[in-house]
A and B are shown apart, each in its own frame.
Chain A
Amino acid sequence: MNTTALAALSGVTALAVALALGYLARIRMPRPPVGVHTAGDVAVVCVGVVLAPLLDLALPTPVVVTVFGVVLGTAVQFTLAPLLGGRWAWPAAAAGIGATLALHASPTGVLAATDVLLLIAVTGVTNLWVQSGMRAAHVAALAGALAVYDLVATTLTSVTLRFAAEVRGQPFAPQLALTRGALPVSLGLGDLLLLVLFPLAAAKAYGRRAALLAAAVGLAVVSSVSALFAAHVLTAGFPLLTALGPLIVAQQLYWRQRRGRERTWAEWRSGAREAAPPPVNPAERALRATAAPGLPEDCWLAVRDDRVVGVGATPGLARRDARRLGRTPTAVRQR
C-alpha cells in the first residue's frame, strides 16, 4: 500500500475532527421547538448503518448512486445553510453534486470531489446530532454496538468488503478514499462518523481535555492501523470500529466516573466547567444553627449561613424580621 497515502489518512482524520469542532464552537444549527436526541435515536442510527450496505448490495448501481447523491447533497445543504444562509446552501450543494457527476471521466476527480462532500457532510451530521442533545453516553452506546457489528460485517462475513468493492470508484461512495485500486487507502463513512462524533460529544459533555483526548485516541487508532498496513502485517480490510469502539466506551466510563454526570447543552453554553454540583441543603445548616443553646423558645428562627438572623411567631414573620435587619434567610425552624 501507498505509505504516503496511509500517513495522509491520519492527516485527513485530524482535519475532519478539527472542522467539526470548529463548527461546533461557532455555528448554531436550527433545532425544532421540541425534540432532543434520545437512546431511541441511537437505535435508529444503528439500524440504518446495518441495513444500508445490505440494501445497496441488493439494488442496481444507478439507484445506489442516486440515493447516495441525494443523501449527501441534503447533508451538505444543511451543513452550509447556517454559514451561507438558506438561499445559497441549496445551489452550493447542487453545484457540489453536479461537479462530482461532471468529473465522471476522471476517476481521481470523482474521488477528490466525493471526499470533499463527505468531509462537509460529516461535519454537519455530527454537529446536528450533538447540537440536538446527543450525549457522550449515546455515542458510547453506538460505538459499542458498531464495534460488534464491524467485527461481524468485516471479519466474520464479507459484507463490508463486498460493499466496498461494489461502490469503489462510484461518485458519492460512502468512503473517504485517498487512493484507487483494488485495496484503496480509505476510511468507511461509519468509521469517520465515530472518529469525529465522540470528540464532539466529549467536548460538550466533559470539556476541552476530554475532546482532545478523544481526538488523540481516534488518531492513534487510525495511525496504528495504517502502520500495520504499511508494515504489511495487515493486508485486507480491517474492522476499525472494533478497535475504536471499546476505546470510546472506556473513555466514556472514565469521564463519567470522574465527573459524575455529563453537562447539558445549556450548561456547556453557559460556560460551566463541570456539571453543576449538587446544591447546598439549607435545611442542614438550619438544623445546626438552631441547635445552639440560649436561643429563644416557642418561636420560629430564620437562618442564613449557620446563623440565626430573625425571630418571629410564624415562619413568615421570622423571615420578615430578618429582612428588616437586611438579611435574606434560606430556612426557618421552630424552636
Chain B
Amino acid sequence: MAVSGIPLLDDKYPVTMDMWPVEDEQFNRIYQFYDNLKEGKFTTTKCKSCGYVSWPPRVLCPECYAEELEWTELPKRGKVLTFSEEVRGVPLGFESPLIHAWIDLGQKSPIKKFLSRIINCPAGKLKEGDEVQFVVFDIPAHPKEVKRETVMSERVFFAFEPVEK
C-alpha cells in the first residue's frame, strides 16, 4: 500500500484520510450500533429517563441530559419522497450513480424522515414513492495496534436499496 509522494506513509493507516467511521469499541462508546448492524439491525439510542429517541445514536440524551440510554430498533422500510442522482463526476469514495433520497419512515417511526444513500439501483430507475429497504454492506477493515501486534478491525455500514430491484 504505497502512498504516492509520501514513502514514509507506506503501509501506514492514516485515520485522517478515512471516510468511514472507526467502529472498534476501543475508539467509541456507541460501538453497539455497529455490532447491531453486523446482525442486520437498524438501531439507535432511546433515553431510559424521558423516552426520547435520537438519531444518530449518542451517549447523552439531548432532551433531558440523562446518560442512561438503551438501544431501540428503527423501521427498515420507507418510501422515497425526493431524490437526486449524480451520474457524472461522482467523487472518490462512491460509484455512479450516487443517489441520495429523502425517505419517509412512516408516522409510527420515532424518526419520521431520513436522508440516506440508495445503493444497488441503476441510474434512471428510482421513482418518487418507491419503497426502499435498509441494507448493510462491508466496508474496508483497518489495522489497529494491540500491544506489539497489528490486527484488522472489520467494519460494516448501511444504506437503503429499492425493494424491487
- Is the pairing of A and B real? no
Identify the B interface with A (CB < 8 A). none
